[in-house]
Amino acid sequence: MQPEDQVVHHAELDGRSIAWSAVGAGPPLVIGGWWSSHLELDWRNAGFRRFVEQFARHRTVVRYDRPGTGRSDRDTTPPRTLDEELAVLEAVVDASADPSAHEPIALFGGSSGGGVASLFAARHPGRVDALVLYGTYARGADLAPPAARAAMLGIIERHWGLGSRVLADLFLPDATAEERAEFVEFQRRSASREVALASLQAVYEVDATPHLADVRAPTLVLHRRADRAIPFALGKDVAARIRDARFLGLEGDDHFPWRGDADAVARETLAFLGAPVAAPNAGSRSGPAGATGLTAREREVLRFVARGDTDAEIAARLLLSPHTVHRHLANIRTKLGVPSRAAAAAWALRHDLI
C-alpha cells in the first residue's frame, strides 16, 4: 500500500465532521481513540502503514480522527468523557458498516483508545466479536502522581512546542533525534495547543473501571514490559478487571505498537482474531528460520555485527547514527530471541547470513 491508496471519508455527529478511512478486505477491525492522531500524516509513516497493512490482509481496517484533531473538524473541542468518546466511535462504526452484512466488528484499543473500545464492547455486546487492548490502562489517575500530571498539563498550556518535545521523549524512548523531531511536528500538526491540553486532561480523568466487568467479548490485553508511557502493571490491572481476558506481556519499551517489534503485536492480534499467521521463527523460501521477520536494514546491520564491526563502524558504513544502529540490534535480538550481540552474530554465521 502507498500513501495515496487511502481514501478519507467523513461521518457527521452533532454538526461536527469526523474523518475516517478504511483499507483492506474482510470483517471490520476498528482502530482508534488515540489522543493524538492524523489519518493523513499517520498514513505517510512507513512503519505505521506497514503495521496496518498486516491487519488489512485479513480485515477491513477502519481508523478515525477524534473531533478537534487530524482531518476531523478542527473548529471544535475534543471529547472530554468516555460517553462523548463512545458517541464518536458509534458514529464511525455506523458510517463505515456495510448495512447488508450485519457482521460484528473487532476492536483494537491502543493506549488512551482502550477506554472507549472497552466501553463500546460493554454497551454493544452483540456487535463485537473480539476486543484487543494494547498498552492501555483503567484509570488515568494511575498514569502518574498528581504533581507530575499537573506539571505536564502546565507545560502544554504554557508552551505546546516544549510540551510536544517532552511527550516525544516519553513516547519514543529509543528514537533518533530525527524521529523525535518528526513526532514533535506530527503532534503540533495533529492538534492545537488548546485541543492537546483538553485531550490530555481527558486522558488523566478517564475511569473505565465501572464498565470493564461488563465486557463479554473475548478479550486479549497486550502490554510491553518496559513501556515508559503506560506502566506494565496497569495493563495487567485492565486484564484482571475483564472476565476471562487473556493477558500477554511483550518485550520492549516502545509505547506505540507500530514501533519496536511491531510484528509481534500484529501477529498476536491476528492469531487472536483467528487469522492464519506464521510462527515468529517459521522458515520460508526467502531465508533461514527467523530471518523473515528482519527488515532489510536489520539484516544489513546483522551482517556487519557478524563480521565483528562495532556500532560506530557500522554507523559509518551505513551513514546512520550509532544510536540507530544500537536500536536496530535491539530489534534484531528481540526478533531472533537471542540474549546478546554475540549470540546474534553466532546466529548469522550458522545461517550463512554474511
Which CATH number characterizes residue 311's domain?
1.10.10.10
Residues 118 and 229 in one domain: yes
Residues 213 and 336 in one domain: no
Last residue of a domain, one of 272, 306, 322: 272
List, for residues 295-305, the tens digit of each pLDDT value: 778 888 888 88
pLDDT of residue 336: 78
Residues 208 and 340 in one domain: no
Domain-embedded: residue 315: yes
C-alpha 26: how far from chain center: 21
Residues 266 and 313 in one domain: no
**Residue-number span of the structural domain to which 296 is assigned:** 291-350
Domain-embedded: residue 280: no
Residues 162 and 242 in one domain: yes
Q: Which residues of 132-158 are buried (b: 16+ CB within 10 A; e: fewer)?
A: bbbbbbbbbebbbeeeebeebbebbee
Q: How many structural domains comprise the chain?
A: 2
List, for residues 2-43, the tens digit of each pLDDT value: 666 789 999 999 999 999 999 998 899 999 888 889 999 999
pLDDT at 100 over 70: no
Greater confidence (329 vs 201) lies with 201
Residues 34 and 108 in one domain: yes
List, for residues 177-191, the tens digit of each pLDDT value: 888 899 999 999 999
pLDDT at 277 over 80: no
Residues 314 and 199 in one domain: no
- pLDDT-derived band at 347 (thresholds 50, 70, 90) equals confident
Residues 173 and 299 in one domain: no
Residues 121 and 89 in one domain: yes
Residues 164 and 66 in one domain: yes
Domain-embedded: residue 283: no
